[in-house]
Chain A
Amino acid sequence: MKRQLLGVAATAVLAMCFATTAQFNAAEAKEKTLKYCSEGSPENFNPQINTTGTSFDAAQPVFNGLVEFEPGTTKVIPGLAEKWDIAEDGKTYTFHLRKNVKFHSNKSFKPTRDFNADDVIATFNRMWKQDDPYYKVSGGAYDYFNDMDMPDLLKSIDKVDDYTVKFVLNEANVTFLPDIAMNFAQIHSKEYMDAMMKAGTPEKVDQDPIGTGPFSFVVYQKDAQIRYKAFKDYWGGKPKIDNLVFLISTDPAVRKAKLETGECDIMSYPNATDIKSLQANPKLQVLQQPGLNIAYLAMNVEKKPFDDVRVRKAINMAIDKKALIDAIYQGQGEPAKNPIPPTIWAYDNDIQPYPYDPEKAKELLKEAGVTSIDSDLWAMPVQRPYNPDGKRMAEMMQADLAKIGVTTHIVSYEWGEYRKRMQNGDHQMAQFGWTGDNGDPDNFMFVLLGCDAARQGGQNVAKWCNKDFTDLLVKARVNSDIKQRKELYDKAQVIFHDEVPWVPIAHSVVSVPMSKKVTGFKVHPLGIMFFTHVDKID
């Protein structure tokens, strides 16, 4: 009897575990649920303290900034600030805040008031003032706030009245607006922060977020899914979908499979090699936009023979960019000629790129009196949107350079070490790249090529410091007239082209594959995922 019972029990358990895929009728969802296959788990839900695109994406549906990027472009548009005035000296920004903006609520917090100036000040003070009670909460590293030089730039933030906030800067800087359109400057509820501090659980602010955004946060199941609900009181109008679910899958091949089977409606970061098959699928569409990025080969001008501009030009002519784009980017990229991508308004399209011409390159080397070059060639150790395969790219470059008599040996290090050594200038030629933070040309040119960044340990890895070039950038930084700025950047791009400290390689295309049922989605050049205006039709 006992044995029989055991047998029955075993069979029952077995049936539970191995019941064949009974066609289960999922509860007919009456609500519209959009499923987004994302690539990883967020660190937390506070864009002030996190650093990865994955984490920013997870917080994006919940929050608004004072100003924001327009979906699909890098144009700065009003967010929680309806309008703003900039003083003539360019140092004072006065923001007029939107009224009747509601905050979300959750189990432990119900807002008693609308959004106002106190929230703006509390948000910035947390990142800025070391004596703020929240400064040290959750690790207290405000990387983006610091990277954007906010501590040096900000002089004061004052509440003029409940709906007016005045930011005073130490110096005029027109990149301030696009800077605060970035995720790190999104606005939190002071009331919620105070309540959680009082309850002794301040870190809850970072894990169970309250914002003013189009979706309220429902739950995060670690490493599995994040759920959001459309916020019916959203100041911009209730979103068209009712539920938003992020399904986390780290493997792009698996995300692709989920999209193909309909388990997801949209997927992030497809493999470049999969784009063609995704495009061929009749149920899917692949939206694309040139990314706000650049891959380049930096030549260290402090090391011979790359101190000679003729050598640098020769290297530029020896590398077949078209072949690189076909092989490495699988056609999902375009050759670069300037240090900024063509999606930025300051791009100078009149520049003529150096042609692929190994013969001319050899002549230039001869003219420079260089008979043989033996150089290292650093290959990116990690995959990046702007460079899907650094090693293979290095091998192709090596073959190209051999044709003009340049011998190279490929070097690579662990990513942190790679970056550190390169920023110290240990290399001769090294692959590197950049993805823009805010769509401003300054965020590429000043950061990557300015004299200040050419110091040891700085971001200018060509170690190229051209005073005329940097002066133009500094002038452009304080000028709010976009036409005059464009002229300054055009001149700077001509200098860059004449001096060629880099071989600009490519700008990759950002692709977002999705079901054809999805409408209203716009690919953002900064990679931000906006779901506010997205709909799903049956």
Chain B
Amino acid sequence: MLRFLLTRVSLVIPTFLGIVFLAFMLIRLVPGDPIEVRVGERGIAPARHAQLLHDMGLDRPLYVQFFDYVGQVMHGDLGISLVTHNPVLSEFLTLFPATLELAFCAMLFAVVIGLPAGILAATKRGSTVDHVVMGVSLTGYSMPIFWWGLLLILTFSVDLGWTPVNGRLSADYYFDPVTGFMTIDSLLSEDDPMGAFLSSLSHLILPTIVLGTIPLAVIARMTRSSMLEVLGEDYIRTARAKGLSAFRVINIHALRNALIPVVTVIGLQVGTLMGGAILTENVFSWPGVGHWLVQSIYRRDYPALQGGILLIATIVIIVNLLVDLTYGLLNPRIRYKR
């Protein structure tokens, strides 16, 4: 087990370095620099442009800047935003709870609907239910987030008036953030905590659905195929022959084994979820890290963008590492083979 763990962890280091390099280089390949993008029609005199680049340390050779940055990161310093002049880490930490809250709800939504749907489709294989579940999940998987988000807003917020358009909380409420999770903070607030809580929930509904749709489709399809495979096994036939109820056979005997690949897929979906969060947050002006990253691209805020990508990638790497380890725990063959 220790060897398995070490192999996995040692893979993390090169991945991490690769990401630092990519995050650093990619934004610099985009034409324009932080000064040019902000000067508007007037332009800027070359001398002043050079002076400002110098002040930001952006006139040094790229490799110097890169190694300087790596050194900085090693010391846990992600730099200062070129636009707001706040430390990148503190900006990230301010915004991250919003992303986490949304991602958590989206994952919950995907698992809670995706798993039963997949099981149902597998047990009723070939039936109308199966075709509907698979058809809907394929549609969900192919749905562009921007379009899907706007469609839901127009239908449920503008036409029906059931949900708020965007944001995290009605402007009628205000309280100082404690945890950064609006659902929790609202309950901790002093004036009308229940009203604030319901307001924060209602603001979560549409973004949760939009962000959860793709993982839901993937989980449903994966559960179905994995379940079908397990249902064909001999021990399931034995279980049925013993006279166990269909419920017990499926939910106790089959599901446990069918879940192994599904858990991996759920882990992989964390990456998808982070990518999706960037789009979803922009549609819903959700004040999370995805929205912040996109604004940082427009403003060529190099430190913010580098730091943001790095932190998100770190989270995805850690989650996948944990999933790999869980997988090893669930399936002893994986750890003993190594």
Contacts and interface: CB of A to CB of B under 8 A. Distances in A.
Q: Do A and B come from one complex?
A: yes
Interface of A: 13-14, 16-22, 24-27, 29, 33, 35, 40-41, 43-44, 51-52, 138-141, 143, 146-147, 203, 206-207, 219, 221-225, 227, 245, 247-251, 253-254, 257-258, 260-261, 263, 413-417, 419-420, 423, 432-435, 447, 457, 459
B195 A27 contact: yes
A15 B163 CA distance: 16
B32 A415 contact: yes
Interface stretch (B58-66, B284-292, B319-327): B284-292
B132 to A, nearest CB: 21
Interface stretch (B70-78, B200-208, B329-337): B200-208
Contacts of B42: 147, 447, 459
7 contacts: A27-B173, A51-B40, A139-B55, A143-B38, A254-B150, A260-B158, A416-B37
Contacts of A260: 158
B158 A261 contact: yes
Nearest to B56: A139
Contacts of A207: 84, 86
A199 B166 CA distance: 39
B272 interface: no
Nearest to B174: A227
A52 B32 contact: no
Interface residues of B, number: 69
A247 B282 CA distance: 14
B154 A257 contact: yes
Contacts of B68: none
Which has the most chain A C-beta neighbours within 10 Å: B83, B95, B165, B167? B165
Contact of A261 (B32, B109, B165, B194): B165
A14 B115 CA distance: 14
A222 B205 contact: no
Which has the most chain B C-beta neighbours within 10 Å: A203, A219, A222, A260? A222
A20 B91 CA distance: 32
Contacts of A419: 36, 41, 43
Contact of B195 (A25, A227, A251): A25
B204 A138 contact: no
Given A247-B171, A261-B161, A263-B171, A432 B41 contact: yes
A219 B32 CA distance: 32
B229 interface: no
Contacts of A139: 55, 82, 85
Interface in B101-128: 105, 108-109, 112
B48 A35 contact: no
B177 to A, nearest CB: 7
Interface in B143-201: 150, 153-154, 157-158, 161-168, 170-174, 176-177, 183, 191-192, 194-195, 198-199, 201
A423 B42 CA distance: 10
Which has the most chain A C-beta neighbours within 10 Å: B37, B41, B177, B183? B41
A284 to B, nearest CB: 13
Nearest to A227: B174
Contact of B283 (A248, A254, A416): A254
Q: 4 closest pairs, A vs B, by CB?
A: A416-B36, A24-B198, A224-B287, A223-B287
B31 interface: yes
A45 B292 CA distance: 18
Given A416-B36, A433-B41, A457-B46, A22 B198 contact: yes
A416 B162 contact: no
Contacts of B205: 18, 20-21
Contacts of A457: 43, 45-46
B32 A414 contact: yes
A21 B173 contact: no
B94 interface: yes
A26 B108 contact: no
Nearest to A225: B171
B165 A254 contact: yes
B295 interface: yes
B165 A257 contact: yes
Given A245-B171, A247-B171, A251-B282, A146 B48 contact: yes
Contacts of B2: none
Contacts of A251: 282-283, 285
B94 A222 contact: yes
A413 B33 CA distance: 14
B43 A44 contact: no
Contacts of A25: 195
Contacts of B13: none
B183 A16 contact: yes
A40 B165 contact: no
Given A24-B199, A27-B192, A224 B282 contact: no
Contact of A21 (B36, B95, B191, B202): B202
A410 B157 CA distance: 41
Nearest to A417: B31
A25 B172 CA distance: 10
B6 interface: no
Nearest to A413: B31
A254 B202 contact: no
A17 B32 contact: no
Given A43-B84, A222-B94, A457-B43, 4 more contacts: A139-B82, A254-B150, A417-B31, A457-B45
